[in-house]
Structure 1
Amino acid sequence: MNLGRFLSRSAKYWPEQAAIIFRDRTFTFQQLDERSNRLANALLGLGAQKGDRVAVQAWNCPQLIEVECALYKAGLVKVALNARLSAAETQETIVNAQARIVLAGGQHIEVIEALRPQLEAVERFVAIEGEAAGFLGYEALLERASSTNPDVEMHASDLAVLHFTSGSTGKLKAAMQTVGNRMASLRKVVMGRMPAQPGDVLALAGPITHASGMFIQPFLSQGGTILLHDRFDPDSYLASLERHRAKAAFLVPTMINMLVKHPRIGAHDLSSLRYMSYGGAPIAPALVRDAWQAIGPVLSQGYGAGETTGGLVTLSVDDHRLAIEGGQEHLLASCGRPFGESQVLVVDEHGRELATGDVGEIVVAGPDVFAGYWREPELTAAALVNGRLHTGDLARADERGYLYIVDRKKEMIISGGFNVYPTEIEQVLYRHPAIYEACVIGVPDENWGEAIKAVVVLRDDRKASADELIEHCRGLLADFKKPRSIEFVSELPKNGNGKMSRKDVREQYWRGHERRVA
């Protein structure tokens, strides 16, 4: 077993076909296969052995795809660092992963060079672009290495990826994704979420070190082409979709909003699109409807995490059509229905499956459930119980199997003895046409313990008062759930992955209080 064999097979079937398009450059399958073979052999030649961790930090570039393919072929473990990490976070991640080799993009060399005295376990540093003292040159390594695939034999239980994310406490933690997990991820994308034909083009503008990157290997294995952007710019993005006749795309809601608001979106021919998948953050139903009109009937949504090796629940294009055109708008509040091989259940505190409509925790069992948290046995034991992943997400399921996320366990507000779920209130706020983004939190209150507060961003072309929004909630929620106060801001804080940071919103209100809400 080796995931790198899929690329080599595609190179045999479609050698001259484009595997990657980046700016004005095209890399064929034959070139990608050969270059990743050379890199795999070069890393092994530097002393790396099967199971060793190799860290890489760079903005989106073709080399990131080459690195991933090479690490699979060599049996090495990918540690992909978010390009937006601070120097302290970069150091923490590399040290925690016990990486032996670090590859750095041109804009990250300076930071990593300054950290070298603290990175004692790292034996080799490689500059992907440019030159730096003490760094090996990426192209020079490839030039000297063999072009034969090392094809290291792997087992399903072997570690393939350390997927680092920040938890609610801000501490970085790494989900251990095995070769078997990654194989399961490939299968579910190919079989369900984003099937492709040879030559189909997938546009990726988000960081491929994280969610966007989960589609790369499945697409390449089908002979598809990755249309890679180093940053998201609506003008160039729309032009490239039209020019390259893109069939698929993955975006976060912020990007979709930028496209919908773009004054010239109607001037671009997007008729080639079949799927525009989104995920990673809540999205207002009004924005979904606007995007459906502006971009086309191509929207789909995914729910998943690093612990599930990507999405395992999807709200398909047909589901969106049913919601928007079929009069079942409530489906836009759902994250969809499970697909693929894993079992997804809503259970009570004793692990028993709940009846339709009851709120409980989502648990997952199956081949895409991760192996645990790297060097965190206590976290692993809490998350994996009797072979099931306890996600910490509270949800309910309807009679047709659609899942509705209610909230995170840790984000529940207790106000006057009642349990209140912020996401439930946010979804109601999103039904107001003026709301662009909303974050609901509990703030200190002498009488209630916590009072419910909504911090909102209005759409550019809309206005609303606090009283109007509270009255809107009053008609759709029990009285104890409606916000007691509304604050208007120009933007909500985001973490490095572009997700709203509820922790940062809440922090200012709890500063100085002895009792804190985790």
Structure 2
Amino acid sequence: MQTNGTVIDAWRRRVDGHPDAPALAWFDAVLTAGEVDDLSDGIAAALADRGVVRGDRVALHLQNVPHYALLFLAIWKLGAAAVLVNPMYRGRELRVLLDDSEPVLLVCADYDADALLAECRDTTVRGVLSVNARDFQTRDDERVFTRPASEPRDDDLLTAVAPGRPNGPDPASEEVALLAYTSGTTGPPKGAMVSHANLLATATDFGDRARVRDGAVVFAAAPLFHITGAVLNAAVALVRDTTLVFAGRFDAGVTLDALVEHRVTYTIGSITVFNALSAHPDATRSHFASLETVYSGGAPIPPATVAAFEERFGHYIHNAYGMTETTAGVIAVPPGERAPVDPGSGSLSVGRPLPRAQVRTVDDSGAPTAPGVPGELEVAGPQVVSGYWRKPDATASAMPGGRMRTGDVAVIDADGWVYLVDRLKDQINVSGYKVWPREVEDVLYEHPAVFEAAVVGRPDDYQGESVVAYVALRADVAATGDELVEFARSRLAAYKRPRTVHVVTDLPKTLTGKIRRAALADRALPTRTGSESS
């Protein structure tokens, strides 16, 4: 596969080669590459009729529906950029992104259109186009389509489709394809400027690493409003002769059915996706029979979770690592290999760098650390974005010399395996000793009753901070906080042991499945009666 140019270049080569091959699937609907190309041309014409020109931004406020892929292609054919917006955002969260990215148009679900149009007043948004999720398919699965069918709208995306192909040259490789916003955990969200070159580099190299072959079937498990879904599901699928399967917002039962119906061969999602599939009472090995490669990204995977999933379903979950600023995955475990565990931290490796990714660890002064010595992970290469949208100071701070300072503490061994120790900001200081929450969490995951775990530091008058854990238990399995404290006591040094383990009903997560440690540090959670140790 060619590694220069843009995703649109790769897409056109695909369509020219196999126009009748399936490209998108949505329940009982399948669209060929030729049909997708024609539809995206028509959508591009509709966007142009509404004033979208080269260099503009179009905000996408959608769940995982096939229109998302059509809009990506249409927007890129115009030389515009797609702004990824979490469809749960309202009010201030939405306004911050709109004010920063200044899109000229917003595309959203039909049932949100009127409310969002009102929220777009006094912004650069000149109009809204709506998407009806019932388009294409006829099944109307009640698990997905929970709202009554909508009345036709004048602003419906497919109704607006216009004839003809976009005029003007295709985008250049250095132009922005996506504005993907960081989570904002360390300040206001920043828009990473993902160029067409960034997008094609990751789509090509990660797809090669994951062995996504022509003829593969890719399931969009990760949300496309997040960099993982947009790149490692959608872009990986679009640049190859594959079928990209959509099933709406993640639902474990719907996902299991889709894996079987479409004979999915590859997917990537957060570890909470695989936890939910494991917890589904109907899940069996047969649901995963067609899968060839399975990846998890977005959050570290405890070794015990990987082992349990493989034992039950026969598939090894391959780790992957990336950031919004690195256009998603730049490190991944090769298929056929098993990630080793770092003997020092107990962390499961996130893999080896992709061929064109330059990865190293550095100390506080910025000097490279030796193999096996922890340091801050730095990434350079064609996947690293040029900077943050209209934030030169933040760009200079985070990406000095074009190298992304990730904020993650990592170890790289002599064989090139990368192990994430933890986030710098999450380090716990117990009497001057460093404690990495992940190491404690991985120990708790070894207990058969623990479904999810998160560890935070609490202020302590005597030792500065103490280690506190929150765990959610597996269904129909009992364990007390005191029992889990004792379990960790025999497996950790004294200063690393959790002082307290709270057994809770659920752990707070982002909409992409990451456990929010900060929320645990800020407030107490409801507990199961009689299951809290303090």
Same fold per superposition (TM over 0.5)? yes
Show the counterpart of 2:365: 350
1:110 corresponds, among 105, 114, 136, to 114
1:254 corresponds, among 234, 250, 272, to 272
What letter matches 1:67 in structure 2? L
Aligned partners of 1:403 and 1:462: how far apart in 2? 34
1:294: Cα distance to partner? Answer: 2.6
Label 1:428 to 1:228 Cα distance change in 2 as closer, same or farther (>3 A).
same
Show the counterpart of 1:139: 158
Show the counterpart of 2:220: 204
Q: Helix, strand or coil: the match of 2:120?
A: helix
Percentage of pairs with the same residue: 31
Write the mapping of 1:75-474 to structure 2, written as runs, cut at 5 A.
75-119=79-123, 121-129=124-132, 136-142=155-161, 144-146=162-164, 148-150=165-167, 152-169=169-186, 171-198=188-215, 200-210=216-226, 211-214=228-231, 215-266=233-284, 268=286, 270-320=288-338, 333-474=348-489
1:494: Cα distance to partner? Answer: 0.8
**Which of the pair is proportionally richer in helix?**
1
What letter matches 1:155 in structure 2? A
2:39 corresponds, among 35, 38, 50, to 35
User: 1:278-329: per-residue Cα shift (whole Å, max 9, x none)?
Assistant: 1222333332122112322342121101110011111234233x769xxx99
Asked if the contact 2:102/2:125 (under 8 Å) is kept, the reply is yes
Q: Which stretch shows the higher mean deviation, 271-280 or 41-50?
A: 41-50
Asked if the contact 1:238/1:268 (under 8 Å) is kept, the reply is no
What letter matches 2:509 in structure 1? K
Aligned partners of 2:311 and 2:256: how far apart in 1? 16
Aligned partners of 2:514 and 2:117: how far apart in 1? 29
What letter matches 1:366 in structure 2? G
TM-score calculated relative to the size of structure 1 = 0.90
Aligned partners of 1:332 and 1:193: how far apart in 2? 22
Asked if the contact 1:239/1:268 (under 8 Å) is kept, the reply is no
Q: Helix, strand or coil: the match of 1:391?
A: strand
User: 1:7-42: per-residue Cα shift (whole Å, max 9, x none)?
Assistant: 222222222221111022111111100111122232
Question: RMSD across aligned C-alpha pairs, in angstroms?
Answer: 2.5
Aligned partners of 1:183 and 1:269: how far apart in 2? 31
Aligned partners of 1:125 and 1:269: how far apart in 2? 39
The number of aligned residues is: 501
1:151: Cα distance to partner? Answer: 6.1
What letter matches 2:291 in structure 1? L
Q: Helix, strand or coil: the match of 1:43?
A: helix
1:271: Cα distance to partner? Answer: 2.5
1:93: Cα distance to partner? Answer: 1.1
TM-score calculated relative to the size of structure 2 = 0.88
Label 1:2 to 1:286 Cα distance change in 2 as closer, same or farther (>3 A).
closer
Asked if the contact 1:286/1:433 (under 8 Å) is kept, the reply is no
Q: Helix, strand or coil: the match of 1:318?
A: coil
Aligned partners of 2:68 and 2:491: how far apart in 1? 47
Q: Helix, strand or coil: the match of 1:304?
A: strand
Label 1:37 to 1:362 Cα distance change in 2 as closer, same or farther (>3 A).
same
Aligned partners of 1:176 and 1:227: how far apart in 2? 27
Aligned partners of 2:386 and 2:67: how far apart in 1? 28
1:360: Cα distance to partner? Answer: 0.7
